[in-house]
A and B are shown apart, each in its own frame.
Chain A
Amino acid sequence: AEEQRFKDEL
């Protein structure tokens, strides 16, 4: 699994 910032979330 990859750790990342969810850019599509509010």
Chain B
Amino acid sequence: MNIFRLAGDLAHVFAIIILLLKIWKTRSCAGISGKSQILFALVYLTRYLDLFTTYVSLYNSVMKVLFLASSGATVYLMYVKFRATYDRNHDSFRIEFLLVPCLLLSLLINHEFTVMEVLWTFSIYLESVAILPQLFMVSKTGEAESITSHYLFALGSYRALYLLNWVYRYIVESHYDLIAIFAGIVQTILYCDFFYLYITKVLKGKKLQLPA
């Protein structure tokens, strides 16, 4: 474990807590993409299949359970409890355009052609594009609540910090994982224009307005 990965995991947990609090406190999921949340739930389900077969550490197991439980709870809150506030019209990204390419790519490019490895690779590729429905929704509505932009900033920072973690591990442990690095770079790049808007607008107290 290194400071970059720990900071990344904490930013990830922080993002999930912000989102759950936003939905629970406002009893509304307006402005949140349910499709992205479904994709995140799928990412954790396909990545953490080894939860019961491989024990890495207490930290690792606790975080996996936390991510699985929180993503499930978020999907439940959005599609069941507060379904009346779910903005279906603006959440119109076709996620099959993400699922199919990620599945095909994970069958073609992976570390080992086994079920667990292909599913892990699928989850890595899917995670890199899972935020697209959310960013698409923000661009369609043209704005985002500040709490939603804090959520996106924390979520985008998590994988950016993981990139630093992989640089650290390459230097210190001389190991690297090209699949994770490639997907992580794509994932972080997708947030770049949001990061710019967040830093130039939201941090100055303005609302996040995307140029329509």
Q: Are A1 and B170 in contact (CB under 8 A)?
A: yes
Give the complex CA separation of A10 and B117 in angstroms. Answer: 14
Q: Is B22 an interface residue (CB 8 A)?
A: no
Q: Does B60 contact A (CB under 8 A)?
A: yes
A8 touches B56 (CB 8 A): yes
Contact A5–B9 (Cβ < 8 Å): no
Q: Please give the distance in Å from B166's CB to the nearest CB on chain A.
A: 8
Majority SS at the chain A contact face: loop
Least Cβ–Cβ distance between A2 and chain B, in angstroms: 5
Q: Mark B57-85, 1 if CB is under 8 A from A, else 0.
A: 10010011001000000000000000000
Tell me which residues across on chain B come within 8 A of A8, comparing CB atoms: 56-57, 60
Please give, as numbers and ranges, the residues of chain A lying within 8 Å of B9 by CB-CB distance.
10
Chain B: interface residue count, which band?
Answer: 20 to 34
Q: Which of these binds chain A: B148-156, B171-179, B185-193, B196-204?
A: B171-179
Chain A minimum-CB-distance residue to B121? A5
Q: Which residues does chain A contribute within 8 Å of B180, judged by CB atoms?
A: 5-6, 9
Q: Tell me the complex Cα distance, A2–B178, Å.
A: 11
Are A4 and B175 in contact, CB atoms less than 8 angstroms apart?
A: yes
Q: Which residues from B are CB-within-8-Å of A7?
A: 54, 56
Chain A minimum-CB-distance residue to B57: A8
Q: When chains A and B are docked, how far (Å) is the Cα of A2 from the Cα of B117?
A: 18
Contact at B170–A3, with CB atoms within 8 Å? no
B5 within 8 A of A: yes
Docked-complex contact B57 and A5, CB < 8 angstroms? no
B27 at the interface (CB under 8 A from A): no
Residues of B96-145 contacting chain A, CB below 8 A: 111, 117, 120
Chain A nearest Cβ from B71, distance in angstroms: 13
Which residues of chain A have C-beta atoms less than 8 A from B207's C-beta?
Answer: none
Q: Which of B64, B120, B169, B170 contacts A5 (CB 8 A)?
A: B120
B64 is contacted by which of A2, A3, A10 (Cβ under 8 Å)?
A: A10
User: Could you write out 6 A-B pairs with CB less than 8 Å apart?
Assistant: A2-B174, A3-B175, A3-B177, A5-B179, A6-B175, A10-B12
Residues on A close to B: CB < 8 A? 1-10
